[in-house]
Structure 1
């Protein structure tokens, strides 16, 4: 160390321990220093310490010349600048249809401060994609380290797939079934990117852990209309979900609420939702109504009428939805009536048993749903429940030490198993039947929790839950009806032998379609596996050679494989989907969809239709709903449809076919879902054969839904719609893509690789260092048409790796010296600036500042940064060391103030990322 005395707090460097800060400057030739890393606090000789130069001092003190040095310094600058370009969202490598309204919204959110918004786009416009793009852009900008996604339980896996597999965002699932739990530590403190269900987080112990964890950069609530606060007289009642939102609102920097139906017709509830975003925006619901234009500062709402292609053309083709209704045959009606008596008795026993009967109530609800799908599905489930009840009886006899009765029950169960699975009556068949019975014993001994059954019976159950529910309703025999085995045997005896009426009509319709066009592709939705398997067999028998592919759940890879098979030119002509096909697949190459069964929640029907009626559909989407009009479900569906048509005619919202206009249908049904428990409606309808009570409930709910739609329309009428003019400045991504390609080419050369531009927008990266040759495209449409071709983009792993590598380039390599092109000399400095607001808001930007040797500003250099890096290397004298702090750092503050990004409550950090001396 020089003779200058050490001062407490001074930054110093030690040859062995690295950098640290002086704690105590001793007078005995030693100093106590706190070193970074593992070295910790140590006492060392003062003479072994040297002053630690700042980053700017290291850059300026080590300016040098050379072609390769210039290139690496340019790469370091680009690694900081590329993620901050205006068209970042449009340059994602995710293979998705990227629409103008999505690009504009992402840009506005990502570049705003603060970022607290309600994204209220209509169903089908891509709120998930918009959110993922915001996350991706903030992460690229270095403004997102910690993020928490709070979503409905049924959507956790969908979000996990979308964020990780499509956008490479590296999120983990929190919860007992996820990647992360909080059993041993505070997971919210240890893990930076989490997806969790609302129900998982709103427990009080979790709320405490959330408060104890560091703040989040971004919190997102999906289906945010469930965050409810009600006014009860002069008191406000907040739901547990709303309290969770309040906790997280105060514990995050940015907050996004997502909902296609954010306003449920209650102005106070919506006012409280807005309060979560900006408490000072309105003083009361009345103030909100009077000054509704202020909602523009916190709400984005795009309708399907707003959405368009980049060229301005209509985004969505037309759709035609037709309901074909039939009546049951006599045998079907006998079986159906007997089944309803069985279900009524089950519901009655469940109600009589109180809490003990909850499981049976859930089982009956699931049974009722399966019966509404097809007689084949309920027949399959009844058979398997009979097996489970028989095994359960054997277990009871075993507990009572009645060996003879036990063996008789197990023998009967083995025979039922053999018949159910078509096992041969030989040694191998008997061994397999024994194994299946043993497996059933294990499952019955492991009681299923009531909560799990509740989820499976819920209208919100999604994806593979329907498959699980068929198994669960068969094996949930903890509480059974008196003599239930005999009742099921009687029901099975009454099962109609002829082909189901709905199936007959479906086969006729398929024959008519294929007579007109043998290549026609058809999508069929049937909720339960019993229906799906039966339909697959029937279609194969009736139309051999047309081919059937079944999409019945599993992970995303399984779904993608089924989708790929269906899209192949010579692939199967029919895809049969369970509920697993409602989301996450794109089938717009087909134009015909049959709803073989109808989900209880009609919004699920809209999701199904959205698989073919979506961006990219070139023809009118034709949808056929198959309904048995004399079943409870069929009558309620037709009743709801009639009521919707009445509303539509009153409002003049019917299409050319006399059907309810799509926008009105989605708005009304979205509101209706919040006012009606479809589970209760259908369960109660079993004991209300004339649907008197059902009609009253439905009419009241529809009336409320219509009032809510009107209230929403009035409140939202001053919200800004989407304009293609907003997209124009962000539309041309060619310059950004050229910058990415140039960056990757130069970075690849540093590791001995070559990047070649090929015809048809293809780019090939040569092999090196054990890494194989890779081919990319720079054209989004081309990547969507290919199963293997990757799209180059800012968030592509190859680009991200290079960006991370050159962002961390040693400061001593950043300063370069080039020969002036016009005789003017001076310095161009490049600063990465992060501004900070009083609520933790951050904004990153690159600030170029150029001055000549007289200290005068040179704006032309600041606009031609890349050209200066390309000037030939030069030799000469170095700049004064203090120029970085004495001249440029005061200029940064003036520049930020001039740009309007440095208000009175905002501070900033600056980091020198480039230094070009022009001589």
Structure 2
């Protein structure tokens, strides 16, 4: 028969006495009974002595880790073997176990009810125990310790907690550009990993796969995050279980070969779609037109219970497409019917969509984090040479457009080329000159083209490459668009070449604008955007003469590593960063730069919003200053500038009539309007209309965009969003608590801090022999609380993956560390700490809360802020008679049940609570002798 472990409770089968196993001798048990007698007892004479409700610790007989501590829920006998159902407190769940492996322990509540007087040193151990539990809770519910140099914003913490506390993990995150959706997802995935979820699939635009990988690896320690098709290939579906965190391009996955492989990838704990508005499904009459991307998403929905959609523009003025996204979150005919009634029941969105606005979010101190944006137009009047070229180019374009209006596939394609040439001309003389020269070369060569039969432009769009950057490669066929085109091109090219020395736009940029900027600060960093590579090369050549070696570039032909190297050099030693649209998404430059120059203005307003979003985002501590360059007298430049001026004006009016004007609200509205504003076709047709007609059509488009934005706002205001007061009831826990915990535990474990460097963020420490052996570390170590400093100082980073920090947390939270009760200087009649838990309707743990209850008379306060401050300093014991006794507990328990009820919802159900500690301040109450005796027994144990 299985022998009970030393310390187990046994019940004598005949006498009914309960005792504790103290040792084993020759296959028999030595038991100390309740009256103090010790006796040798045969195994068959004893049974399980654990009562229901007893706190226990599991002691496995193998080398596997213990399941931890919990309490007995029920007892049973199966096949003549007695077992106990134990609910463990730290995420191990409920298990039927052999009672022989369970050792009874003192819980905080049982110590209180027994009148235990805490031994010396328990106050400090109580503080460190609660710090460990609070920090672990902070990490489990926000992922904050995944990397300690992340300073999560309140809206990011609120979002993760809101999702975890909602009872379901299917949400659309519709935050504005620049609010850190990547960080929110990283925090959420880190928190879910703490709950045992492991397999995550992220489906993102091709150009962002490497960025997502870098973010997850460097910020959240997910070194296993790999990119499908680049880091690994699948030749056999049986290989899928080898990969836990997979990032893949939606345009790669949608191809049939990859689609078949991903279909066989097995179950995923969560699938995340970035830029989810690209998953389009539209209703035409009574039929749906489903894109390949949406088909991919529908297929993947069948492989997971949890889907997360990310999109700053989920509505896009099309309710059908928006409802299609919601159906990915809530599939099935019942929800489809409810979603189709969205206009009548918009409150449905509160449980499906989270939307945070730049104008609303604050830092931890309640200060709005966006400092505003200022836009200036910089005009460059045309000189005579430029006017002559502009007139000649218009004649060329007009002839091309006249041919295109004759109809036919080839002629329509000619109009497409003419529009591209207009964009290039508005960008720079270098861009249009290069395009015209390539066109002339094509006409003068006899090279066979694959596209010649169609007579259309050559366009090759690589996966993830911004199409606009490749427009300048379009040349059309080798047949003249119209009679005399070759001679006209030769004249245009000659005029363009002569303009290089008289480029007023370039002079306005380098000779006027940059001189003004650098006069104030010679080392000011400037981000410059252009749509085209030829313009980029043109600007770089000019800037190199101003700042040799301090000019960097980003463009679509670079690898992710090359782009990251350019950004790193720009922020560390550079001065000018010239970026094409490839830098318009995914790269954040707010840390060292707040000035943006748009050398050309994109025809798509959303691209301009994305450009500004590189600087106008969290972490920017200065107002963003935007300069828009234009050439006065150029028809397209004038139209574009007027369009953007009107866009800003309409946004200002809309912000002014909002319920409450806030700094940044106008920028939110500009982004909204831009997402609805389709002016590309209007501008393409402008050559055939008068300037006034074009402007009228832009006004009409702006009016439609305003109405669509208003409709979206009317709908999405029912979404969940950041509430600055939502976290006020939580116990404030932050990085200063991590530092205080580590320092306190070092004192307890004999770790010496010899030096504090880098503003006390890096410590030089000396480990005792037992920790060296246990953790496999050297005696002298450097540890850091900041990832950047860890690299700089070559120190061990104390984050969620640190062996040293894990050991400190496990030690402080373990039963042997003690500190379950304490006599301290805390105010009030007593303080109880507890972890409350909620589960879904299958009993799966989903949410938890760490709560501190302070009793004052009959009132019980939850999470008093003073407790958070008290945790930061060592806690001395307070001698004297205790005020707490067994009769003090019912008020605490009543409040805990009230908190469980308050946190429950339709999809979230109470799962219980664990009291982690009780403390009180001494008062002059006589007696308590029994408590002293119990304290002596506890100290001996």
- TM more than 0.5: yes
* Deviation (angstroms), 1:635: 4.4
Answer 1 or 2: which has greater helix percent.
1
- SS state at 2:269 partner: strand
> Offset at 1:607?
2.4
Change (3 A) 1:451 1:650: same
**Match status 1:60 vs 2:103:** yes
Q: Equivalent residue of 1:288, what SS? A: coil
Q: Does 1:776 align with 2:775?
A: no
Q: Residue 295 of structure 1: CA displacement?
A: 2.1
Structural mapping, 1:891-910, within 5 Å: none
2:306 partner SS: strand
Instruction: Give yes or no for the alignment of 1:150 onto 2:203.
Output: yes
Deviation of the 1:146 alpha carbon: 0.9
Distance in 1 (alpha carbons) for counterparts of 2:647 and 2:850: 57
Give the deviation of 1:669 after TM superposition.
0.5
What residue is the counterpart of 2:668 in the other structure? Answer: 663
Specify which of 258, 276, 280 is matched with residue 228 of structure 1: 280
Pair 73,364 (structure 1): closer, same or farther in 2 beyond 3 Å: farther
Q: 2:314 aligns with which of 250, 254, 262?
A: 262
Q: Determine whether 1:289 maps to 2:343.
A: yes
1:525-544 alignment, distance < 5 Å? 525-541=529-545, 543=546
Does the alignment pair 1:458 with 2:464? no
Q: What secondary structure is seen at the aligned counterpart in 2 of 1:494?
A: helix
Q: Is 2:373 the counterpart of 1:330?
A: no
Superposed counterparts of 1:845-860, under 5 Å? none
1:594 aligns with 2:597: yes
Aligned pairs, number? 760
In 2, are the aligned partners of 1:188 and 1:209 still within 8 Å (CA)?
Answer: no
Deviations 1:218-255, CA, capped at 9 Å, x for gaps: 22222223333433344444444333333333432322
Structure 1 residues 349 and 274, CA gap change in structure 2 (3 angstroms) = same
Contact 2:301 2:307 in 1 (8 A): yes
Kept after mapping to 1: 8 A contact 2:376/2:628: yes
- The residue aligned with 2:580 is 578
**1:304-336, Cα deviation, whole Å (9 max, x unpaired):** 221122222232223221233444613432564
Aligned CA distance change for structure 1 residues 455 and 556 (closer, same or farther; 3 Å):
closer
- Aligned partner of 1:511 in structure 2 is 515
**Cα distance, 1:737–1:652 mapped onto 2, change above 3 Å:** closer
Aligned partners of 1:203, 1:82: CA distance in 2, in Å? 45
Indicate conservation of the 8 Å contact 2:798/2:805, yes or no: no
Is the counterpart of residue 162 in structure 1 residue 167 in structure 2? no
- Deviations 1:434-466 (CA, angstroms, capped at 9, x unpaired): xxxxxxxxxxxxxx996535864635xxxxxx4
Q: Distance in 2 between matches of 1:645 and 1:766?
A: 56
- Give the TM-score, by structure 2 length: 0.64
Counterpart in the other structure of 1:180: 232
Going from structure 1 to structure 2, the CA distance change for 1:344 and 1:454 (only over 3 Å counts) comes to farther
- Counterpart Cα distance in 1 of 2:61 and 2:587: 56
Matched position secondary structure for 1:230: strand
Which range moved further: 204-213 or 372-381? 204-213
Distance 1:832 1:217 in 2: 25
Cα distance, 1:107 vs. partner?
2.2
1:527-564 CA-partner distances (Å, limit 9, x unpaired)? 334323322333454x5689544455745665555445
TM-score (norm 1): 0.65
How many Å separate the matches in 1 of 2:437 and 2:505?
22
Say which of 274, 294, 318 aligns to 1:242: 294
Rate the CA distance shift 1:517–1:214 in 2: closer, same or farther, 3 A. closer
Change (3 A) 1:908 1:508: closer
The corresponding residue for 1:715 is 715
- Kindly provide the CA deviation profile for residues 85-111 of structure 1, in whole angstroms up to 9, marking residues without a partner as x: 377445452645532212221222234
2:374 maps to 320
**Does residue 377 of the first structure (1) align with residue 431 of the second (2)?**
yes
Task: Give secondary structure in 1 for the equivalent of 2:297.
Answer: helix
Distance 1:667 1:494 in 2: 41
1:30 is matched with none
CA distance in 1, matches of 2:432, 2:730: 54
Measure the CA separation in 2 of the matches of 1:899 and 1:665.
39
Q: Is the 8 A contact 2:517 2:524 kept in 1?
A: yes
How much has 1:385 moved relative to structure 2? Answer: 7.9
Q: Within 1, Cα distance between the matches of 2:270 and 2:360?
A: 28
Is the alpha carbon distance of 1:696 and 1:648 closer, same or farther for their aligned partners in structure 2, counting shifts above 3 Å? same
SS of equivalent residue, structure 1 residue 317: coil
What is the DSSP-based 3-state SS (H/G/I as helix, E as strand, rest coil) of the residue aligned with 2:378? strand
Describe the SS at the equivalent of 1:452.
coil
Q: Is the 8 A contact 1:351 1:361 kept in 2?
A: no
Q: Residue 409 of structure 1 corresponds to which residue in structure 2? A: none
Q: For the residues of structure 1 that align with 2:407 and 2:219, how far apart are their CA atoms? A: 45
Structure 1's 653 and 156: CA in aligned 2 closer, same or farther, altered over 3 A?
farther
1:764-798 deviation digits (Å, cap 9, x = unpaired)? 254884698434246xxxx7899837999874542
Deviation at 1:626, TM superposition (A): 0.9
Alignment of 1:369-768 (within 5 A): 369-380=423-434, 393=447, 452=461, 456=465, 458=467, 466=469, 469=470, 480-481=478-479, 491-497=492-498, 498-506=501-509, 507-515=511-519, 518=522, 520-541=524-545, 543=546, 548-552=551-555, 554=558, 558-559=562-563, 561-563=565-567, 565-567=569-571, 573-582=575-584, 583-587=586-590, 589-628=592-631, 630-631=633-634, 633-641=636-644, 643-644=646-647, 647-648=650-651, 651=654, 653=656, 661-672=666-677, 675=678, 678=680, 684-685=684-685, 688=688, 690=690, 698=698, 701-719=701-719, 721-729=721-729, 732-734=732-734, 737-739=736-738, 742=741, 760-766=759-765
Q: What's the secondary structure of 1:726's corresponding residue?
A: coil
Task: Give per-residue Cα distances to partners, 1:361-382, cap 9 Å, x unaligned.
Answer: 9988776654442122344566
Aligned equivalents of 1:199, 1:555: Cα separation in 2: 18
Residue 913 (structure 1) shift: 13
Change (3 A) 1:609 1:56: farther
Task: Answer yes or no: is the 8 Å Cα contact 1:91–1:793 preserved in 2.
Answer: no
1: CA distance between counterparts of 2:254 and 2:274?
15
Rounded Cα–Cα distance in structure 2 between residues aligned with 1:184 and 1:632: 58
Secondary structure at the aligned position of 2:539 is classed as: helix
- Give the number of the structure with larger relative contact order, counting CA–CA contacts within 8 Å between residues 6 or more apart: 1
Distance change >3 Å, CA 909–CA 305, structure 1 → 2:
closer
* CA separation of 1:623 and 1:350: change in aligned 2, threshold 3 A: farther
Once the 2 structures are TM-superposed, how far is the Cα of residue 147 of structure 1 from its aligned partner? Answer: 0.9
Matched-pair contact (CA < 8 Å) for 1:123–1:260: yes
Is the alpha carbon distance of 1:536 and 1:292 closer, same or farther for their aligned partners in structure 2, counting shifts above 3 Å? Answer: same
Q: Which runs of 5+ in 1 are unaligned?
A: 5-12, 18-51, 397-447, 460-465, 823-829, 849-862, 873-893
Q: After superposition, give the CA deviation of every residue in 1:265-296 in whole Å (9 maximum; x if it has no partner).
A: 34444334333324656844674333323422
Displacement of 1:54 after TM fit? 5.0
Match of 1:124 among 178, 201, 207: 178
Q: Which of 255-264 and 582-591 deviates more?
A: 582-591
